[in-house]
A and B are shown apart, each in its own frame.
Chain A
């Protein structure tokens, strides 16, 4: 047993009590559990289910925005502020995976180096591994695992997104959208999509010219939206210079307080549960469909013998769907 382990945690050499160790705050158990989720290992599902009673306490904060907007740097600065307020943090930073090789260079940690040795901070990089929407398939599980491990705040940083990667809003309590000066004109700011989901807007790189103009464009767009009980603040910040970060964190906290008071937190969590069920069903359906299409099945054989290229995708899809209840009936 190395000195890095939490005192009092004992390991069986042959089997690891992942759930117990994770609850006891063991970093390696947490890290390993997230890997199992990333590998879509059935053990991860069992683990998350086992730990469910220990989740629901953390404040889940999503940070999203376009590539190069300063998300990682803002997260780094936010982590500092959160730690100064005496709370522990888990960071999940997602970066894209190659569609060709599945490989990835996950570089968000570079901006957060100074927190590496702080025991109150756990940082995990994730490759999206083909999942769309700005996150990885295992991000949901990773959030639950970090939550169960007792982190007060969980910050989820999406891949650099464009206009419609909205999954983060179904996963987090508070969504922070990071914008930059000169990132578009008034037409961009009235478009639907990501601009509608933010609870807090941050115009980062505010030391550059055009920041105030960007703030006004967002303000105009927000003002035109139907009046909502929560009016998302639009803040200027420079993450690199650590200017304006305190107010960003206070806005995130105010949003959380608002959610608690208005019952919105419950509503968001109900919605999240619903989305989670849909995501899990969709994932297994996709895996089933892939197996049906690539495996030794009637549909798979038809697709491989597709000599004249005239197969009808709609009828094949119906055939694949029809395979599922048949299999269920056998059980």
Chain B
């Protein structure tokens, strides 16, 4: 794989591992609007399934400072692999 791809992937992994722990934990724009106008409770208990790493944390590492970083690294790699696979599938059998 080309050098610049590796560099940007490493930057992404570094952001997920080392910058995300410093992310602001305050509500985002939609959550803030939902709190201010009292419809946030409409989402409570409405999840239709349980994701393995809810809120970007590893449940078994819940108390660890590494929980978010590990989840971030896993997510970054998963995203890379899924997009790579999808794009490869799209071009398979394509006439050049």
Whether A and B are associated in the same complex: the answer reads no
Residues in chain B within 8 A of chain A (CB atoms):
none
Residues in chain A within 8 A of chain B (CB atoms):
none
